Amino acid sequence: MRPTGIILLFLWVTAATVCSQSVRMDVHNEPLNKVLSRLQLELSFDDRTLSEYNISVSKSFENPESALLWLLEDKPFRVERIKNVYVIIPCDNQKKNPADRVFGNIEVRPFSFKGTVVSQTTGEPLEYAIVSLLDADSIPIATGFTTDKGQFAIKTSRVPASIKIGSLGYRTRYENIRDVDGNLGVIHLNDCMIPLGEVVVAAEKTSKEIHHTTYVITPQMLRGVHDALELSDKIPGIYFDQSSNSVWLNHHANILLLVDGVPYSETYLRHLSPDRIEAIEVIHAVSGRFVSDDYAGIIQFVLKKNYTGYDLHASNAVWMNLSKTAENCRLPENHPSLGFIYTTHRLNFFGMYEYDREKSNYHATKSLTYDRYKLVSHSVSHPAHRYRYDHHTVNGGINYHLTPFQILGMQSDYTRGSTKTLQQYTMRRTDLSNNYDRSFTSETENLIQAHTFTGSLFYKGQFANRLHVYADFSYNYYDNDMKNEYHQGGEDVYRYSDLWNEYKKQTGLNFEGKYSLSHNMSIEAGYSNLYRRYASKSSQGIGFLNYKENRNRASVYFSRLFSDRTRLRAGVAFEHIYSHNGITGKHTTRILPYVWMNVKITSKGSLIAGYTANSLYPSLYQLSPMSIVVDTFLTQIGNPDVTSAVRHHGFMEISLGDKLKLMPQVVFINDGISEVYDRKAYKLYRTFNQIDFREYSLNVSYNQSFGRYFRLKSTLTFYHQDALYEANRNSVNGWMIYSDGNFYHPDWAAGIQFGYYRNMKKNILWQGYYMSGKDFWSITARKELWNHRISVMLSYIPPIEFGVRNDRIKYLDTPLYKERTTTDLSSYHPTLLLKVGLRFDHGTRKEPVENKTIKMLHKPER
């Protein structure tokens, strides 16, 4: 390691930190039980009793426990902490009644009551349910709570008239006491969801950073979801696409998924039980160790602490094409998977297997113009584009708690599979100089067989509740064998075939620390190193690539809470890149600034503004000089001289309550990489070069619950893109929307969803554009069976033409070459998706600490 690296590491060790533990609350005239449920504490209380008190508060607290004490001040309750659960107990009225307590000089013996409290729905015992014995005036005379087996035993010196049982999430129950000393038996409580609304706390999560939006998971959000990715669909701005099994954030698919600060694959999250998740965080401005990975945002899943249990999960999703033109492709997709997660107080390990098979046959038309020739495809009965994808994925990992606040973990993923594409056209070729026509066939086939392995080792630690540190080391290996064949039939028969191998080796090292200077100020610092090597070799011994790249990056960020209404986070990353393309080397140094500010304007309105810069790097196919024949005119070849680029991202988020958000954004990429067309000798090549990109967009997100069962969610995006190269400018614009209405009834364990998804987007090129995604309407029915162990979802994509674009277009207009390729997607309407999941799980949250009572020694400052 160079001396500069040692200095940066030393600075990181001395300056590393954790952020403020403060929590902010802004509520007006809301029931106390609802307000308490917003704290990120594990609480147990009687909903009905606490709902009698209304709370108004606009204040920041040092930690959630301080907020709890403040909210209960001057109220007839006491708080006991049992393990990691805060139990709120009504204060007993223990004044003596001579008629009950004393007879002469002889005291009446104490009365004893015992019983068991269980859930009416599941039959499971309810831990920490509040049990109160009441006198004739319904005043508590003795209070206790249930054990982990749902049992209670209460003694009192007075004769109770009735008993009251309450628990968070259940209806309070009253029973008259007829037997003054006996067993009350089994008492059943019915479910009762607190109407919290789906966004509970925004932008101010307790004991975390201040530059993201946090959504605490409520019981309503868990309804009708079977895994963590489905749960993310309940968050405003996030869309889980069942058709592609992927997560989008404001119509961006390049999203990083984290679990407690550690990157995890979608495979893991597809098997993670939503019951393990405490909150979901959304980060729009990427910083720190992720600043140079071209992510449009981060979605982090925060797990419940001190959780022990197991998950066994199996699922399968099958697509069925009902179209008359399916052409031997009735089952275009099949995704079976199997996984397990096992967690103890110290150990967590998991393993998953997935198989993905996709097959598609699309009709397509093509029109080309090159030099003096024009080619137009004939209409044929068979599909022009055929695609098949087969992949097997295995991943696993283990995390070990060295101490309650230090974790050492490792995980790995291995993927093996093949991808085959076949394009077949019958073309009419016209010589524009003499109008001479002739026909020929064109067939291009590509077969890719790839192996990918990724392994990582990470460490997380917390010291003195102020210092958080994180470190990881990762290794990635990718190997690819590709076969390219082209066959032209007709008068001029031409054949071409080549086979080559490509591989990538990459290592990554990250150190990051966060330190809390005070309750409203913190600093972060980090260092990252990434080394990668790309290489390729043709079977003909030509086009050899030997590309090496080494990146070193140091970063520092400062966070400050100026007031209850204003927060700021700012910093900078310094990056040095050395790249060598096998012939020449290049040094590049960059400064990547970052700033984020949150201003609370009113009790329901806030403004977030931010700017960040990050680096983009060339990929293997953009660098590789291998020749891939595309058609009779065109050959693709990489450019080993392209270099990294800088992406500038500015945005604002205007929140009008928890229901409506507006987010204007601008993205500018200086010297980005795009395909261009050039003629060398007598051949036309599609290659890559550095050009400038701009994108302006406006996202409007609306999320509204109506009563207990219905929810409406929509995200609308308008965008405009520019590409600039050699004084030429190309522009495209468009809009996208995903909107759905959901009805789910927990008593029926069933629901239905109706949605419209306009997901097809124009992606700009310097000399044209290409479209990606699909438009469709969808009707989805869901049913949970066997105490929610089995989840069955059936989605129907009807052949509705209104608002649906069935033509996916690639359009090019260059001085040398013109192309318009139209792929017809109508053959996949109508379609059925059947998804079945089976889950066996069990888990509890416990912490081995002594019981203690929290006492209010002084009045909290108001």
Specify the pLDDT at position 52.
Answer: 76
Distance CA 548, CA 534 (A): 6
Instruction: Name beta bridge partners: 709.
Output: none
Strand blocks (E) in 464-604? 467-489, 494-518, 521-538, 545-561, 566-580, 585-600
Percent of the chain with pLDDT over 90: 50
The fold of the 312-845 domain, in CATH, is Maltoporin; Chain A (2.40.170)
Mean pLDDT by 10 residues, the chain (862 residues): 42 36 65 76 72 76 77 79 73 48 43 86 79 82 84 84 82 80 82 41 37 81 91 90 84 91 93 93 87 85 90 96 81 95 94 96 92 84 88 97 92 97 93 89 95 97 88 96 92 87 95 89 95 85 82 95 87 96 92 92 85 92 88 89 93 87 95 89 88 96 89 96 90 96 94 96 94 95 95 96 96 91 90 96 63 37 34
- Which CATH code, of 2.60.40.3950, 3.40.190.10, 2.170.130.10, 2.60.40.10, is assigned to 206-311? 2.170.130.10
Specify the pLDDT at position 203.
Answer: 31
**Contact partners, residue 276, CB within 8 Å, separation at least 6:** 228, 303, 304, 307, 309, 311, 843
**Contact partners, residue 110, CB within 8 Å, separation at least 6:** 155, 156, 157
Specify the pLDDT at position 210.
Answer: 61
Specify the pLDDT at position 351.
Answer: 98
- Dihedral sign for Cα 283, 285, 287, 290, please: positive
Distance CA 118, CA 152 (A): 11
- pLDDT per position as a tens digit, 654-671: 988 778 999 999 999 999
DSSP-derived letter for residue 395 is E
What CATH code would you report for 111-191?
2.60.40.1120
The fold of the 23-90 domain, in CATH, is Phage tail protein beta-alpha-beta fold (3.55.50)
**Contact partners, residue 563, CB within 8 Å, separation at least 6:** none
**Contact partners, residue 324, CB within 8 Å, separation at least 6:** none
Q: Which pair of structure tokens corresponds to residue 813?
A: 């207009």
Distance CA 470, CA 511 (A): 6
- pLDDT per position as a tens digit, 734-746: 999 999 999 999 9
Q: Where are the domains of the chain?
A: 23-90, 111-191, 206-311, 312-845
Strand blocks (E) in 707-789? 710-725, 728-745, 750-758, 761-765, 768-772, 775-785
Q: Which pair of structure tokens corresponds to residue 241?
A: 């696409």
Residue type, 743: F
Q: Cis peptide leading into 830, omega within 30 of 0?
A: yes
Specify the pLDDT at position 829.
Answer: 86
How distant, in Å, are the alpha carbons of 121, 469, 588, 653 from that of 149?
16, 38, 64, 47
Q: Say how many C-beta atoms besides its own lie within 10 A of residue 152's C-beta.
A: 21
Specify the pLDDT at position 543.
Answer: 60
Distance CA 231, CA 218 (A): 11
Burial of 366 (0-12, 13-18, 19+ CB in 10 A): buried
